[in-house]
Amino acid sequence: NAGVTQTPKFQVLKTGQSMTLQCAQDMNHEYMSWYRQDPGMGLRLIHYSVGAGITDQGEVPNGYNVSRSTTEDFPLRLLSAAPSQTSVYFCATTPGSSYEQYFGPGTRLTVT
Amino acid sequence: GENVEQHPSTLSVQEGDSAVIKCTYSDSASNYFPWYKQELGKRPQLIIDIRSNVGEKKDQRIAVTLNKTAKHFSLHITETQPEDSAVYFCAASGNTGNQFYFGTGTSLTVIP
């Protein structure tokens, strides 16, 4: 069991570039979420999904898109990167039967 | 939406002393309150959680208390050890269990 995996671990983008952060899980968990973590601000929810084909916005969705075509994958797309999107991004999953969240290892993104 | 406040932002204790971190929440519909420990460069990891139908929960040196009326919950670590040094986050979630709102974190340093 790999649990929750994220790729890449590090990424540097130029302003205006687009990219996709990958998140995959092999635990058959229903719920998946994306967070960003900035110094002094804790973790803030970007988007979440309660199952394949269903996504919704969290606290800070602007500038990000998500889709969930399978239970296993939940990619996060940055449409046009901005320096304000420099952050550490965590993907997390939750089984539908409990509230315990499992976090991926994170992706550190720098936008110059 | 939910607003979670966490205090203090930094905490230093002598090894063997107790540490207490407090959080308040705003949404009376929240009913699940986890605490996470995050070491530098690592992912958040769940250390203890409590549901709204319980007032206190203990796991060895760690305990969490919840006051639903006052909308606050606290993490208590007794007999602190240097390996307890980390950033601790509280969070709150409502009935769906797929939206978590985090506090801004407490950096705990245990001085040997």
**A107–chain B Cβ distance below 8 A for any pair:** no
Q: What is the pLDDT of residue A99?
A: 84
Give contacts of A 70-89 with B, CB under 8 A. none
List, for residues A14-46, the tens digit of each pLDDT value: 999 999 999 999 999 999 999 999 988 889 999
Q: How many CB pairs under 8 A join A and B?
A: 57
To the nearest whole number, what is the mean pLDDT of chain B? 94
**B60–chain A Cβ distance below 8 A for any pair:** no
A8 to chain B, closest Cα gap in Å: 15
Question: How many Å apart are CA B33 and CA B30, to the nearest integer?
Answer: 8
Q: What angle do CA A88, A20, B37 make, to 5 degrees?
A: 25
Question: How many Å apart are CA A9 and CA B86, to the nearest integer?
Answer: 21
Of B32, B45, B89, the CB nearest to A43: B89
Identify the band that residue B1 occupies on the pLDDT scale cut at 50, 70 and 90: confident
pLDDT of B48 over the 80 cut: yes
B49 to chain A, closest Cα gap in Å: 9
Compute how many other C-beta atoms are within 10 angstroms of the C-beta atom of residue A69.
10
To the nearest whole number, what is the mean pLDDT of chain A? 95
Identify the band that residue A2 occupies on the pLDDT scale cut at 50, 70 and 90: confident
The chain A residue lying nearest B89, using CA atoms, is: A42
Please classify residue A59 by burial: count the beta carbons closer than 10 Å to its beta carbon, then call 0-12 exposed, 13-18 middle and 19+ buried. Answer: middle
Q: What percent of chain A has pLDDT over 70?
A: 99
Identify the band that residue B99 occupies on the pLDDT scale cut at 50, 70 and 90: confident
